Amino acid sequence: MTDTQTQTDIVIIGGGIAGISAGARLAPHARVTVLEAEQAIGYHASGRSAALYEASYGMPSTVALARASADFYLRESDYLSPRGLMLAGLAGQEDAFAKDLAEMGMDQISPEEACKLVPILNPERAVLLGYHSDAWDIDTDRLLQDFARTIRTNGGQVLTKSPVSAITRGARWLVSTPQGVIEADLLVNAAGAWADEVAGLAGVAPIKITPMRRSMARVAAPDGHDPARWPMVFGVNESWYMKPDAGALLVSPAEEDPTTPHDAWAEDMTLAEGIARYEEVVREPVTRMISNWAGLRSFAPDRNLVIGHDPVAPGFFWLAGQGGYGFLTCPAVSQLAADLILGRAPVMDGATCAQLSPERFAR
């Protein structure tokens, strides 16, 4: 530990998409320092995401945030590329299929139509099918790096290899890292799976954020097929998904296994279960796994994001519980966080803000 002390206005703990996007919104208005424990930003959940912009799934508050992000994604930037989304179900899943179809605003299509979009589907097995084109891939790395560049351009700092070892509060926050002590008026907790641990270091009551592991396998595309234009395919009840990725396929069991904060990895049995569910609806089995990994999707007890000032601890701001929706919602989430921190009237409606506020846990 060095004895260097850095003065800033706002210290953001966590260099995933939540912390970096909020920092970019705040940097033109205040001195911002983002602390990331790992060697690169976006190392954990943000770097392991099959990010898709599709604004109809999640809790109502998440859907509201996704829709509020549409202007940024669809009209103000070029981070998206067309993907499309398909729902695939088996005989016997009619009720769950109908529920998913309605919630996601899809049109039901025939197996023949579906096979034109994804030629490896087995029309004798995948008999319940829905589709819509309003889904786009997000260029997550470029988005993350552009937000980080905005922070630096406005005089802020993004410090990697900076795990927080201690937090104390006097007149200001004092955050200890291997690079020295960061002194700030406001602490933004954007630590993802570690959000409750950061709160504990700061002497703030935890919210019971629960990390949930989700695994992913990157598998070879079937011989003779180029999946570049295929849509992402979800199983009914989000029991698995497949997404084209740079000439290969990402296949996930879409599990939500509660765990503790750690550098997550995929378990072989869990991956095998997901691949088996995927293989139920296709004619081409998986022949080769290229790589695999897992990420931690972190949820508050009610599965709504947590955005706002702590109701008890002055100068402590929650930006947590993204639940895998970080990239989907980051334009609106970062705007709301900046509005609340800078004392501006939020663009989001009052009911949604209340659903997201940490004050809901104090009632």
Low pLDDT (below 50) residues in the chain: 1
Tokens 């000439």 belong to residue: 247
Q: What CATH number has the domain bearing residue 292?
A: 3.30.9.10
CA dihedral 243, 249, 253, 259 (to 10 degrees): -90
Tokens 């506020």 belong to residue: 357
| Domain end marker among 249, 273, 297 | 297
Q: What CATH number has the domain bearing residue 13?
A: 3.50.50.60
pLDDT value of position 1: 42
Phi, psi of 122 (to 5 degrees): -100, 105
Give the Cα separation of 192 and 16 in Å (integer): 8
Q: Is 64 within a domain?
A: no
205 plus 226 within the same structural domain = no
SS3 call for 309: strand
Beta pairing, strands 210-220 & 257-258? antiparallel
Q: What percent of the chain has pLDDT over 70?
A: 98
Q: Is 76 within a domain?
A: no
Phi-psi region of 192 (alpha: psi -120 to 50; beta: other; left: phi over 0): left
SS3 call for 46: helix
Q: Is 331 within a domain?
A: yes
110 plus 221 within the same structural domain = yes
| Domain end marker among 243, 265, 297 | 297
Q: Is 205 within a domain?
A: yes
Q: What is the CA radius of gyration of the chain?
A: 21
269 plus 144 within the same structural domain = no
123 plus 191 within the same structural domain = no
199 plus 334 within the same structural domain = yes
pLDDT value of position 4: 80
Q: Is 77 within a domain?
A: no
pLDDT value of position 45: 62
Of 233, 218, 228, the C-alpha closest to 281 is 233
* Chain-centroid distance, C-alpha 142: 15
Q: Is 54 within a domain?
A: no
pLDDT value of position 51: 85
Contacts for 75 with CB less than 8 Å, ≥ 6 apart = none
145 plus 198 within the same structural domain = yes
228 plus 286 within the same structural domain = yes
Token pair listed for 305: 């994001």
Q: Is 73 within a domain?
A: no
Give the Cα separation of 100 and 89 in Å (integer): 10
For 248, the domain range is 85-132+212-297
* Chain-centroid distance, C-alpha 65: 13
Give pTM, 2 decimals. 0.95
124 plus 22 within the same structural domain = no
278 plus 217 within the same structural domain = yes
| Domain end marker among 244, 273, 297 | 297
219 plus 255 within the same structural domain = yes
222 plus 255 within the same structural domain = yes
Under 8 Å between Cβ of 15 and 296: no
Under 8 Å between Cβ of 89 and 236: yes
289 plus 167 within the same structural domain = no
Q: Is 10 within a domain?
A: yes
Query: What is the number of domains present in the chain?
Result: 2
Length in residues, the chain: 363
